[in-house]
Chains A and B, each alone.
Chain A
Amino acid sequence: MIDLRLKIEPFPAVEPFVLRLRYDAASSEDDAILVDREAGRFEFDYNGFSLVVHAPDGMDLDGDVIMVLPGQGSAHRLVRAASPHNTFLVTEQCDQLCVMCSQPPKKHHADLFPQFLKAVELAPDRAYIGLSGGEPMLHREKMFSFLEVAAAARPDVRFHILTNGQHFEEADAGRLRGIGVERVLWGIPLYARSPEIHDEIVGKPGAFERLQCSLSNLMLAGASVELRTVVMRQNFSELPALANYICNRLPFISVWALMQMERIGYGRMNWASSFMDTSSDFSALKSAINTVCARGIEAALYNFPLCSVPQPYRHLAPSTISDWKRKYLGSCEGCGSRDACGGFFEWYKHDEGFRGISPL
């Protein structure tokens, strides 16, 4: 597991601030330049102040954008320049309570939009940045403004935003187009075609109906949507009906992501009642995938170890588990497909997991 925080020596910060670590030359007043480096200790010069970061020797920090918080002994690595997996946690508040939630909501919210904006400005060329929560769109106005300013400042940067889709209005079309419909991919969960099952899974009555409304608004705006369906015992047999619904009602989506569960947060609490062992029964997934593929809608399997997927469907399972929370099992040692496989979540527990897998 890769640590998303870096240990730093005490630094006189009065408010959260964002800076970029550079090894050679500064190209911005927000750059800190490496002046000394020895055995896990990196010393940077930041506008005349000394900033000391402790990190493993092999770690490449050049171009990383970090956030320093007052009184904290560690800095957040907001953007790791060498990684494609960079996500800003916008808020931990949420208005749904999904049974498999990997990041259960909290009441408190600390607003970091100015810091995120600075981080976008300092991000590497053509960065693809994730925004997640909680539910980021609980802060609709700030999110839209953030995206508008970021889009103007850095036309090359694109965003992947995870949202529950409960907060889009018809009137948002103009702002969505202004930000750029190609620039933002909205990752939105839909769990079942049946409103009752969907609402039960997300723990919010009326959520399905509101989601339909949002998705229709996004379609009319021309927005790009990645529809996300976590595959669970609760919705497994419903997947073919959901596929048909997507073909007829949501033909505009960019991709339908069928996702395996993450055993953390509520996902851990509800693992026994929710985890669907798709290595032992892939049937409903087959039908669902075939339906959308025939209709020209892209399907993808996220967080599925390759050996859990029948061969004809394996090309649909890219390596999606973020590098910092990915692991492989002991038995993966002899597997010929390991390089192409996303492996398992760090918190996956094999004795409660896939029964039907073995190295390829």
Chain B
Amino acid sequence: MNVFPLKFRQWDDGTFLFADDAGGFFRSDETFLTRYAKDMLTDDDFSFLEENGHVYRQVADYSFNAFMYRWAKRLYAPGDLDYVIFVPTLRCNLSCGYCQVSRVNENTPGFDWDETTLQATLKFLDSLKTTRMKVEFQGGEPLLRIDLLERVREFCRERFDEVEFVVCTNLHQLGTREWAFLSANDTYVSTSLDANASVHQRQRTITAERTAEFFGNLRRAIDILGPSKVSALPTLDVRNLPDPRSVIESFTSFEMRSIYLRPVNYQGFARKQFQALDSAVRWNAYHAEFIDAMIDYNWTANEPVEEYYFVHCLRRVLRSGHNGHTDLRNPNVLGQSYLVIDHDGVFYPTDEARMVTRIGRIDLSMGNVRTGFSSVTVDALNAEATNNLHPDCVHCSYQPFCGVDLIDDLSRYGRIDMPKHDTDFCRRHTHLFDKVFELIYSEDPKVRKSVAIWAGMPEYDPAIAKVHA
């Protein structure tokens, strides 16, 4: 019998996690590692490994094919372009210190789509093969150009069978026309809620009056649109982190139960203001504390909460083909299934690529909607966008669950060939997967309750946490 190669990682308690390239995993100890390394596996070892899909007898037998399927299913294969992010204006009526998008003042001319760009964008949409389309309006504050949003939405509803619109808005200065736009069945609101009222005011709204305006509008949005149509992200300053319980309390008071924690991003204006470069250690500790606070909360709450990205990572550990998040894919092929069109009509593969370009790191633009694609740089990046063969990743137990984010590497280090374990991406994800496995293997009933909820199981079952004694 042949064993599919096992990668291993030692935990604090001395035991080891073993994982194969298809993401099958189990916990065992050093004596097993020794037997494995010295080719002295016992019949018991083989029977455990066979029962759990880690061995095959010959190439193309049933075990081999099933392994091949699970391995392949973990790879991300981009589909037809069916998701676009539009930046109809870069102007904004807030000026948050950490702004990630290098916004411009509300009255600055020349940072909006002009009629030619709008027409070219509609023509571009019309040329696509897909029958489904998701449009995300970003900015700046996109509702400052409600007229453009209306025209794009109207066009898409005519052109595609299924449509979904997301407006990323700060929820300020909303009039009848804006509320009417947001109230449509196919339209969703994504906003920022920085932890709680005091943090939100410090980081975003500055004055009590504007803070009250935001919370009033958020309440109104929840009331008239419904909590399922409104989401909010907290952006947190690593130097000044709020008590996790206050964040959970603040979000649940608006019936928002999926919280996507984000540290201030080291890009755009934020780069000048916050030295967030080596904040990974502090952030990781806070994130773990936050997950623990959620586990405590869920133990007694009627309606559970989740940290969106942590749940995504947990599911990527347990499942093949869980590729729904653009930040964590392998290979992370860019510029194909989704695209950004900036205020000047320039294509970018992601919103982050737009910012990296803006700060002058490297030009990651992919042409212009008025003149067409040109993707030489992004094609070159895509050729490197896999972790399967990366010398730093091939021995990592977390490789099958993890991904690649070359744009984050470029943004932080100006290059893509940093040793992986020195990158923020690797440090954050190693920590996240450590936490995921800590929870999967926990015997604490509180933890097990949350793991079951987050993993989508009706109840926890130890069968998901294989141990080979």
- Interface residues of chain A, those whose CB is within 8 Å of chain B, are 212-213, 215-216, 219-220, 240-241, 243-245, 247-252, 286-287, 289-291, 293-296, 312-313, 316
Stretch with Cβ within 8 A of A (4 or more), from B86-94, B149-157, B219-227, B319-327 = B319-327
Query: By the criterion CB–CB under 8 Å, are B322 and A296 in contact?
Result: yes
Query: By the criterion CB–CB under 8 Å, are A249 and B62 in contact?
Result: yes
Q: Which of chain A's residues have a CB closer than 8 A to the CB of B51?
A: 241, 244-245, 248
Q: Which of A241, A249, A252, A294 contacts B461 (CB 8 A)?
A: A294
Q: Any chain A CB within 8 A of the CB of B413?
A: no
CB distance from A33 to the nearest CB of B (A): 35
* Contacts A219-B69, A244-B52, A289-B458; A296 near B320 (Cβ below 8 A): yes
Q: Any chain A CB within 8 A of the CB of B24?
A: yes
Stretch with Cβ within 8 A of A (4 or more), from B257-265, B385-393, B449-457 = B449-457
| Chain B residue with Cβ nearest A310 | B458
Which label, helix, strand, loop or mixed, suits the secondary structure of the A interface?
helix
Instruction: A244-B463, A286-B458 given; name 15 further pairs at CB < 8 Å.
Output: A212-B62, A215-B62, A216-B65, A220-B65, A249-B62, A249-B66, A251-B66, A287-B461, A287-B463, A290-B458, A290-B463, A291-B464, A294-B318, A295-B464, A296-B322
* Contacts A244-B51, A244-B463, A286-B461; A294 near B455 (Cβ below 8 A): yes
| Chain A residue with Cβ nearest B314 | A294
Q: Which of chain B's residues have a CB closer than 8 A to the CB of A247?
A: 53
Q: What are 19 A-B residue pairs whose CB atoms fall within 8 Å in the complex?
A: A212-B62, A215-B62, A216-B62, A216-B65, A219-B65, A249-B53, A251-B320, A290-B463, A293-B456, A294-B455, A294-B457, A294-B461, A295-B318, A295-B319, A295-B464, A296-B319, A296-B456, A312-B458, A312-B459
Query: By the criterion CB–CB under 8 Å, are A286 and B459 in contact?
Result: yes
CB distance from B60 to the nearest CB of A (A): 9
Query: How many A-B contacts if CB must be within 8 Å?
Result: 78
- Interface residues of chain B, those whose CB is within 8 Å of chain A, are 24, 51-53, 62-63, 65-66, 69-70, 73, 315, 318-322, 452, 455-461, 463-464
Bound-state Cα–Cα, A313 to B452, Å: 13
Q: Which of chain B's residues have a CB closer than 8 A to the CB of A250?
A: 66
CB distance from A346 to the nearest CB of B (A): 30
Q: Which of chain A's residues have a CB closer than 8 A to the CB of B452?
A: 290
CB distance from B382 to the nearest CB of A (A): 25
Bound-state Cα–Cα, A247 to B461, Å: 14
| Chain A residue with Cβ nearest B73 | A251
CB distance from A93 to the nearest CB of B (A): 28
CB distance from B8 to the nearest CB of A (A): 19
CB distance from A213 to the nearest CB of B (A): 7
Query: By the criterion CB–CB under 8 Å, are B62 and A296 in contact?
Result: no
Q: Which of B63, B458, B459 contacts A249 (CB 8 A)?
A: B63
Query: By the criterion CB–CB under 8 Å, are B52 and A248 in contact?
Result: yes
| Chain B residue with Cβ nearest A250 | B66
Query: By the criterion CB–CB under 8 Å, are A243 and B320 in contact?
Result: no
Bound-state Cα–Cα, A251 to B66, Å: 7
* Contacts A287-B463, A290-B463, A291-B464; A252 near B458 (Cβ below 8 A): no
Query: By the criterion CB–CB under 8 Å, are B315 and A248 in contact?
Result: no
| Chain A residue with Cβ nearest B63 | A249
Q: Which of A248, A289, A290 contacts B53 (CB 8 A)?
A: A248
Query: By the criterion CB–CB under 8 Å, are A290 and B459 in contact?
Result: yes
| Chain A residue with Cβ nearest B451 | A294
Bound-state Cα–Cα, A248 to B62, Å: 10
Q: Which of chain A's residues have a CB closer than 8 A to the CB of B73?
A: 251
* Contacts A248-B53, A296-B322; A219 near B460 (Cβ below 8 A): no
Bound-state Cα–Cα, A287 to B321, Å: 23
Bound-state Cα–Cα, A286 to B464, Å: 13
Bound-state Cα–Cα, A237 to B464, Å: 18
Q: Which of chain A's residues have a CB closer than 8 A to the CB of B459?
A: 286, 290, 312
Q: Which of B24, B53, B70, B464 contacts A294 (CB 8 A)?
A: B464
Query: By the criterion CB–CB under 8 Å, are B318 and A290 in contact?
Result: no
Query: By the criterion CB–CB under 8 Å, are B63 and A240 in contact?
Result: no
Q: Which of chain B's residues have a CB closer than 8 A to the CB of A316?
A: 458
Bound-state Cα–Cα, A156 to B320, Å: 30
Q: Which of chain B's residues have a CB closer than 8 A to the CB of A286?
A: 458-459, 461
CB distance from A353 to the nearest CB of B (A): 24
Bound-state Cα–Cα, A294 to B462, Å: 11
Q: Which of chain B's residues have a CB closer than 8 A to the CB of A293?
A: 455-458
Bound-state Cα–Cα, A213 to B61, Å: 9
Q: Which 7 pairs, one residue from A and one from B, show the smallest C-beta to C-beta distance?
A: A248-B53, A296-B319, A290-B461, A312-B458, A290-B457, A291-B463, A249-B66
| Chain B residue with Cβ nearest A248 | B53
| Chain A residue with Cβ nearest B61 | A216
Q: Which of chain A's residues have a CB closer than 8 A to the CB of B464?
A: 290-291, 294-295
Query: By the criterion CB–CB under 8 Å, are A296 and B458 in contact?
Result: no
| Chain A residue with Cβ nearest B64 | A216
Query: By the criterion CB–CB under 8 Å, are B318 and A296 in contact?
Result: yes
* Contacts A290-B452, A296-B315, A296-B320; A248 near B461 (Cβ below 8 A): no
Bound-state Cα–Cα, A241 to B52, Å: 10
Bound-state Cα–Cα, A347 to B365, Å: 68
Of listed B51, B52, B458, residue having the most chain A CB within 10 A = B458
CB distance from B436 to the nearest CB of A (A): 12
Query: By the criterion CB–CB under 8 Å, are A294 and B456 in contact?
Result: yes
Q: Which of chain B's residues have a CB closer than 8 A to the CB of A215?
A: 62
Of listed A219, A220, A247, A250, residue having the most chain B CB within 10 A = A247
Bound-state Cα–Cα, A243 to B464, Å: 11
Q: Which of B66, B457, B460 contacts A248 (CB 8 A)?
A: B66
Bound-state Cα–Cα, A245 to B320, Å: 15
